[in-house]
A = this chain, B = another copy of it.
Amino acid sequence: MNVRNVGENIMNKKITIIEIAEMAEVSTATVSRVINNTGKVETGKKEKILELIEKYDYRPNQIAKALQARKSNTIGFVVPHINSPYYAGIFYETEIAAKKRGYTLLLCNSEADKRLESNILDTFVSANVRAIVFMGGRLDDMSIDKKYINEIEKINKKIPIISCVDIPELNCAQVYQEQKISADELLKHLSKEGYKDIALLGGYANIRTTAKRRKEIIENADRYGISIRKDIIESDYSVEGGNVAMQELLKSPQLPEAIICINDLVAIGALSETYKSNVKVPDDIAISGYDNLDISSFIFPGITTIACDYKAYAEAIVDMIQNIDNIAKNTRRTVQANLIVRGSTKRNA
């Protein structure tokens, strides 16, 4: 039994501009003019139209509008997993910033799956989105080949793509975080606190973002009298990854004085292991992360982290979309990251 279709009257049906026009005894053109504030309309008619719109709760059909305008106000957003707090943080701020400028966001999880990712891009092309924002996934993999680059660039010819990974060989708009200055800040801080023997923990070398973070740390450690251990215990980017990697590290004959984890989740996972093993943070070992998740400041001890400026990141993305038609195709924009020191690396906290 179709309950929904029983007893519908005009109030329940979606009303169109035609009906408003008929009731106001004007043309649809006139109604369109008052809706969009384009062109003059006699006050009396205008009022009547506005009244009708109010009375019947009329909303212009954005689909029809998008069809005729040949462009929509929808932005496609791809992340591997929205339940990963870093991506959720970026998306959250982006949605808020975009909403202010009249955009609505489609969100898809690529699940780091190649085929899925392609399907999503197809979907976004079909949906005629205004732009596609692309985080993680294949993009973040060092091993992407010319074929993949071509696939992306081909789409980019039809629909602007914003990559949130720094890929020099990819010709599309890119927004990503600066790593050099913040790495310096972290090294300087750790050095000042007396941590000189440091290990890196978590992440995979073939992930661009990871490689970049590691590179900046390794290349600049010398200047602060810090030595970075050659062996990096790798792991995925989750708390569990941090657990596993830290269990491994704790087997070392000689613990490092500090560990720089690839992100806050891994840092939290590592921290948890120290509790199990009765290792004291930061006295026995200091721990730092990246991203500055909410939780990082509220657990004990707080996690020192290279913070992502989520708001600035989101603004940069939306701004780029806003101006996409007036900028060079390969425009790059970086967002500043900055160090936040907390108990996990402060001996006299």
Contact = CB atoms under 8 A, between A and B. Distances in A.
Contact of A239 (B82, B157, B299): B299
Contacts of A96: 109, 111
A178 B299 CA distance: 30
Given A62-B128, A64-B67, A106 B105 contact: yes
A108 B105 CA distance: 7
A8 interface: yes
B95 A109 contact: yes
**What 8 pairs across the A-B complex have the smallest Cβ distances?**
A239-B298, A12-B157, A272-B300, A83-B92, A83-B88, A275-B300, A62-B126, A107-B107
Nearest to A302: B272
B295 A273 contact: no
A83 B89 contact: yes
A20 to B, nearest CB: 15
A309 interface: no
18 contacts: A4-B329, A13-B158, A14-B158, A60-B126, A61-B128, A62-B128, A63-B67, A81-B92, A82-B95, A83-B89, A85-B85, A95-B109, A96-B111, A105-B106, A105-B108, A239-B298, A272-B299, A272-B300
Nearest to A62: B126
B128 A3 contact: no
Interface of A is mostly: helix
Nearest to A93: B83
A63 B59 contact: no
A126 B59 contact: yes
A157 B295 CA distance: 41
Interface string A59-74: 1111110110000101
A2 B326 CA distance: 5
Number of chain copies forming the complex: 2
A81 B67 CA distance: 31
A335 B8 CA distance: 31
A59 B300 contact: no
Interface in A103-141: 104-109, 111, 116, 122-123, 125-128
A94 to B, nearest CB: 10
A101 interface: no
B298 A272 contact: yes
Nearest to A343: B276
A112 to B, nearest CB: 13
Contacts of A1: 326, 328
Nearest to A296: B239
Nearest to A240: B298
A144 interface: no
A63 B128 contact: yes
B95 A126 contact: no
Contact of A122 (B59, B111, B268, B328): B59
A299 B14 CA distance: 51
A222 interface: no
Contacts of A272: 298-300
Contacts of A85: 83, 85, 88
